[in-house]
Amino acid sequence: MPGRRFLRRLARPLSRRLFPGAAIMGYHRVADLDWDPLGLAVGTRNFRSQLSLLSRFREIVSLSDLIRRQQAGEPIDKCVVLTFDDGYSDFLDQALPILAEAEVPGTVFVTTGFTGGTFWWEQVAGMLAPGTRGRSQLVIDTGSGETLAFDDIEGPAAAAQAIRTICHHLRGGDPDRVSSVVSQIRDWAGRDDDDRVTGRPLTADQIGALGGESLAEIGAHTVSHGCLGDMDIAAQRIEVERSRIELERISGGPVAGFSYPNGSYSPETPGIVKRAGFRYACASTEGTYRASGDCFLIPRLWVSDIGDQAFEQWLSSWIRVRD
């Protein structure tokens, strides 16, 4: 019997015609990398190609404008929104200049706890990058009763798999577990390898600069990038409320949008986000956003590092790109 994913793929062409919706594109980084073990980056050439195609067949609008149109009862099915999670500095250095060339807006969701520091997952990737010289076997106590062991991770494929496995185990963002695992990898590698970190968070000054950019909207992405769905109500409130307060202080303007890290939320989370003063929130579930959609559970389409015909073919499985 066909699986659910297969059946959903078969149903997409009919669904996109009968129930059209806006396409909220999900990105993390725009950067030209030789090695991207976590698959978070779209290269600058492909990003330009994607914007060119999207602009030909849809209107690229800001997330706030999309929600305004929806709430005013205006059509949104011809709209596209560009969102960027985590708050990498290359949003300012790489993505924003390309957005300016195309004269289209984008929304960046910033994780405030890393401002001016280093994302722990980028630290892990940097210390395990090809060419790292550690002992032959890397053994990690994850702090959750499970031990991870990796043999011969010198090659790119094996190193990438190890990085993805470690980051999956740490996705909850618990600071003690993260610190312990990063320390164990550092001891194994014999050095920090900070110069191998390819992606850094926005600094406070950079966030302040974005606050004055007409094409950039700033949204919140919690403090720690932890899984809200695994936290109790009090912890969720702290993560949500503090991220908004801190971002508004740094940027000098209101912060209306939120994004759930790791796509994780509990039944109570959207209400917590709404009561914290946010007006809408993006989830990580894949799909288009219809006029009847919940603006605190906005689905997205996660974009890969592809361009030209490959991107058009992928996009056409979700929305009509040629009328």
Residues 6+ apart with CB under 8 A from 275: none
Nearest to 257 by CA among 103, 36, 99, 66: 66
Cβ atoms of 81 and 23 closer than 8 Å: yes
pTM of the model: 0.92
Among 230, 231, 207, 229, residue whose Cα is nearest residue 219: 207
pLDDT beneath 50: ranges in the chain:
1-4, 6-7, 10-14, 17-18
Q: Are 110 and 257 in contact (CB under 8 A)?
A: no
The per-residue pLDDT for range 163-203, each reduced to its tens digit, is 999 999 999 989 999 999 999 999 888 876 667 788 999 99
pLDDT of residue 190: 80
Q: What are the structural domain ranges in the chain?
A: 4-116+206-316, 120-196
Provide the pLDDT for residue 116.
86
Asked whether 311 and 46 are in contact (CB, 8 A), the reply is: yes
What are the tokens at 155? 């090659």
Domain 4-116+206-316 in CATH 3.20.20.370? The answer is yes
Please tell me the predicted confidence (pLDDT) of residue 1.
39
Q: Check residue 131 and give its pLDDT.
A: 72
